[in-house]
Chains A and B, each alone.
Chain A
Amino acid sequence: MKKVFFYLPMLFVALTFVACDDDNPVEETTTGKAQLVLACDMGVLGSDVSYLIPVTENEMNGATAALNRAHEVYSSARVAALNDWLFSFSGMDKAVISRYQRQDDGTLVKDASLELSTHAGAMVANVIFISDTKAYASLMIENKIVVFNPTTMTKTKEIDLAKAELSCDGQATPNPMGMVLRDGKVFVGCGEYADMPISNDGAHVIVIDEATDTPEKFISDMRASTASFWENEMFVDDRGDIYINCWASYGFVPGQKAGFLRIKKGETDFDTDYFFNFTDMTIAGVEGGKLTNFYSTQYAADGIAYGVCSCPALFTGDFLNDHFLYALKIDLYNQTLSPLSLPLTSAYATAVSKKGNEILFGLSTASQGAGVFSYNHQTGQASSSPIINAPGSVMSMAVFE
């Protein structure tokens, strides 16, 4: 009997530890606001939803992204950060932007939403912030840009781009996608789709005067095709030049070339002296020496950008199981591409973002896990496994600096 009374308290204590023990070590050490939010799509698992998963600093150590703090949204969601806010918009469903506030405990709380269009299939492609009180959202199918106030979450006006003079074929469907702001002008990349993802030939950009919200010109460069896609595919370098990722209909159209075009600082036309044409290049270190198009890009510094690019030699036609995309360093000034020491990814996860000197890649790899990998822009050190394991395909990331 004495032994029973001796062991029972010990059992109770042990049980307490076991009961309180959490399979997810993140729970015990999570502190502070989220530094990163993943938009993780579950389509590969047969579920038409995405999860917005906040990640705190101390979770970027090989932990698994904490779904218990996640928000369920429609599939193909994309995200953007401004101050303490996270903005989420579904690429395919609902023309609505939702806003979440970062909390000190690492969670997100939804505090506002704004319906950008009653045309639910309008497809919000990209959001850029002009200021704390002004933002542009491009609606690809509806061919317009909605100007809204991200602080009050109210719509200000619409910029109608469905005009024949703003499309390459006169069909009044420019399909606005990625955008970039520079010196009071917003440059809007146009998909100009014939049959998505097939675009018409050429790279086409609409230039909008931000002060008046008025389209000023429509510029084209036929050397490359399909100007920009999602966020960070049109960016400004340290010199003030704009670079544009042209992804040439995923390489599906013979004759269309992929690469980077440039609009120099102070200019509103394509730089005819610059075309980083990698379609016609042989790239060392990639299988077969050829690459077709970047799925995503992110500028770092000093003319160096990073991205995820497809390699046709590794593609057998099986999108689910083929890992045919490289993580690459892009030297825009010297026009070179170098594969990074990161594993190949499938086409389901190709997100790229930047946090300080760390370039973050959302990848789905064959044998090294799925989630966010990192590459240090300064040291060149790459993670061999995810710094954050993801439950699905990381399609977009928002970083809070």
Chain B
Amino acid sequence: MIKKYLIAVCILMAVVFPVISWGQSVSGKVVDCANNQPIQGVLVRIIKANNGATTDKGGVYQIHHLEAGSWEIEFSCLGMKTVTKTVKFDRDTPLTLHVCMENAVTDLGEVVVAARHERKELKNAREQGVPVSVIDGKMLAGRGTSITEVINHQTGVKVRRTGSVGSDTKVNVRGLEGNRVQIYIDGQALNSPDGSFSINDIPLQFIDRIEIYKGIVPPEFGGDGLGSAINIVTIDAEESFYDLWYGISSYNTHESSITYKHWLPKSQIMLSAMYGFGYAGNNYKMQSPYVEGLTIKRDHDRFRKHLGEVSIDFRGTYFDEFEIGVPFYVNDRQIQGIKTNIQKAQTSGWMTGAELTLEKDGFLTPKLDMKFSGLARFSGTHLNDTSSYLYNFDGSQIPNTYRGEIGSIPNLSDDKLKDYRYTLNFKYNLRPGTKLNFNNDFRFVSTEFNDTVADNYRKTQNSGLKADVINVISSINLEQRLWERLYLLLTARNYYNRVKGATVDLTYGAGNSEVVHADESRLSWGGSIAAKYDFAQHWLLKFAFEHNYRLPRSEELLGDRLWITSNTQLRPEQANNLNLGVMYNNQYNNFSRLQFEGNIYTMHITDMIMMRTASGFMANYNIGKAHLYGADAEVKWDIDRNWFVMLNATYQKTIDKTRYLPGTNTPSVTYDMQMPHIPIFFLNWSLDYRKDNLFGGKGQYNRFYYEGGYTDKYYFGYKLAANQSYVIPSSCIHTAGIEYAMMDRRLLFSLECHNLFDTKELTNLNYPLAGRTFQAKVRITTLKW
């Protein structure tokens, strides 16, 4: 229907416009003064004439129907300084006017956003050669939902949860999840041992954009992710602001934060302070998947957190950015039982540290740009599981064999972790269109195990054991633009991994556990090539190939000294990823844009690290091989200034390529089969209506949105038998919400309902989710969004 409409309009325009065309025209090209590159999406406005246009991919604009006379033409674009020219038209001669624009440094409020066009940051992120989905953070600023819920509506992404707020959450990207999907915040890898910070702890209003990389991890991130990564880019406001918000959600969930950022002009310092807290009761009811007819009210699922940060940004120094920050984070979480009625066990964690960010364009030499981000982070996690009784859902209790509700022994752990890391990037502009990048990513993680209660119970002396894991990933890449249309990115990458220290071998039972001193290191080489080609107006082709590695995490190498034994011989997982994509992006008038993106991919993974049982304990092994392939596509349409629609679809297969039953020469029956418990097909769609001053007045913003998602059923096990019992059923979840802001968006109210029809929702077998929930949010802010 939409297509027919577009075609009809095009025909109409082609037939009618030559007939009724009148007046004069002005055209030209808009480029970036710094590098002479064309700028797409610049609003070119004839002031006082209600006429204008936006520049296309080549930076070209055209405006027709101008009467003779003197006119002011304004060129504006987010991130660039507005340019105003006075020109004079005569009746007979079309005017050509080329303009160059400079980067804006401060106060983007000078830019009058009279048209909706894509911000440069989003555009640049989307038009990389690697397959990536980019979510504009400005569309999230008013919502009361979570980051994981937002990314759950993207192509190739499914979020799987075991419960509600604070529950274990895994992001599945193209069939890969857990440690295989690297999460970054502002390009810095997120290290998340139990109890530590998660991406859902970032308030949505402070997100500038979310980048989801599928198949290839950009070299500047430095880290490993087996081809999938999510980068949360936070807003780097250039001006003072304060922000206070409070949100309330179903099942006794409360969240709030206050942020204050203050610019001291004399000392050229930006001071920032943020404090936030969250509380979730998570006390929804669910049907037990284990006991017929049993309804369980989750009464031991409370989650609490406090977080904050103080930072100082020194401006006016040699560095363009020189920021020091000190974050802190504390949480505690009760553990909700589903199979059994856990009533006592809980975890808690804390984190603090220091972060340093340095950036300088023209570092030591005008052609060299430098970025450095480093952090020292200290964290602790605690498990309190010492109950002498087990509890039933009928309220009764029985003596506890294991002296702990979730493990086979009592635990009162106090594990500590020290995390030192940095990312250093140098970008050298060899010549226009050619850049050389060097990236070095260093991580040193030191863990210390402490659990004297477990030690006493088992008669071991493992408390105090320390071990270190060092990962260094270095890359060098060449960015080259050829013939204006072709962009190439060639990368060579080196992976170094070392594990050193004391861990525990549980193979012969906890009582016989041996302290093992390990010192193992490995070196691997990878590389990638990414390309994009502007093969026609509005069209872009992408190609990317990468050979990469995912280094084993410290917990995989070292175990947990309790139930997961160590395996310091683990090799990195490795993958070969290939992606082909096509993009279409046409801003065909001031407020209308049609975008399409489609990708197909294939990925071969070997040495997959998988956990297996081992006589009462668990161990990690390199035993898996898989072939992943699929396709995804998305259409986004800004119909006009008010309406926006989106539709995307993903089809992904994750095929087992482990040829033999592990430990035998028996051909595996699951060879070439879809691997279990991984979504295969899903759709997402959304409809958005935005209008300023819908009810009259001024300085108001209204938004109504609806989004839906369908996930086709998938199986818990391999689909081998005729009588297959365990299925994650297909689901169709609808969400709707409204936002209302006033006082030029300084005061915001929002209301959202997730899962409108209370559809039964499962993303992990036997972990029922909450069903319909409501969120309400109020926010006071001077941050422009």
Contacts and interface: CB of A to CB of B under 8 A. Distances in A.
Interface of A: 42-49, 51, 64, 67-74, 93-94, 110, 115, 118-121, 140-143, 162, 171-173, 175, 193-198, 249-254, 317, 319-323, 346-348, 364-371, 389, 391-392
A191 to B, nearest CB: 8
A111 to B, nearest CB: 13
Contact of B340 (A120, A171, A254): A120
A47 B291 contact: no
15 contacts: A45-B670, A49-B676, A64-B669, A70-B720, A118-B393, A172-B399, A195-B458, A195-B510, A196-B408, A252-B511, A317-B505, A320-B663, A348-B663, A364-B666, A370-B666
Contact of B509 (A253, A320, A323): A253
B291 A118 contact: yes
B663 A193 contact: no
Nearest to A65: B669
B97 interface: no
Given A253-B509, A317-B507, A70 B721 contact: yes
A233 B721 CA distance: 31
B615 A197 contact: yes
Q: Which 5 pairs of residues, A with B, have the shortest CB-CB distance?
A: A252-B509, A120-B290, A49-B717, A319-B614, A70-B721
B662 interface: yes
A323 B664 CA distance: 9
B392 interface: yes
Nearest to B392: A119
B28 interface: no
A71 to B, nearest CB: 4
Contacts of B512: 252-254
Contacts of B526: none
Contacts of B505: 317
Interface centre among B614, B661, B662, B718, by most chain A C-beta atoms within 10 angstroms, is: B661
Interface of B: 288, 290-292, 294, 339-341, 390, 392-394, 398-402, 408-409, 457-458, 505, 507-512, 610, 612-616, 619, 621, 623-624, 656, 658, 661-666, 668-670, 675-676, 716-718, 720-726
A175 to B, nearest CB: 6
A143 B612 CA distance: 28
A193 B401 contact: yes
Contact of B508 (A49, A172, A252, A371): A252
Contacts of B292: 115
Contacts of A44: 612, 661-663
A324 B676 CA distance: 30
Contact of B661 (A142, A194, A251, A392): A392
Contact of B392 (A118, A319, A368): A118
B726 A121 contact: no
Given A49-B726, A141-B390, A320-B621, A367 B665 contact: yes
Contact of A72 (B612, B668, B726): B726
Contacts of B665: 365-369
Contacts of A64: 669
B726 A198 contact: no
Contact of B718 (A47, A119, A193, A197): A47
A173 B612 contact: no
Contact of A319 (B619, B668, B721): B619
Nearest to B720: A67
A244 to B, nearest CB: 20
A370 B664 contact: yes
Contacts of B507: 317, 319
Contacts of A119: 340-341, 390, 392, 398
Nearest to B405: A121
A371 B667 CA distance: 12
Contacts of B663: 44, 320-323, 346, 348, 364, 366
A46 B664 CA distance: 15
A198 B510 contact: yes
A194 B720 CA distance: 38
A367 B619 CA distance: 23
Given A46-B676, A141-B390, A319-B615, A250 B721 contact: no
A141 B505 CA distance: 27
A42 B718 contact: yes
A73 B621 contact: no
A358 to B, nearest CB: 21
Contacts of A171: 399, 401
A319 B291 contact: no
Contacts of B402: 193, 195-196
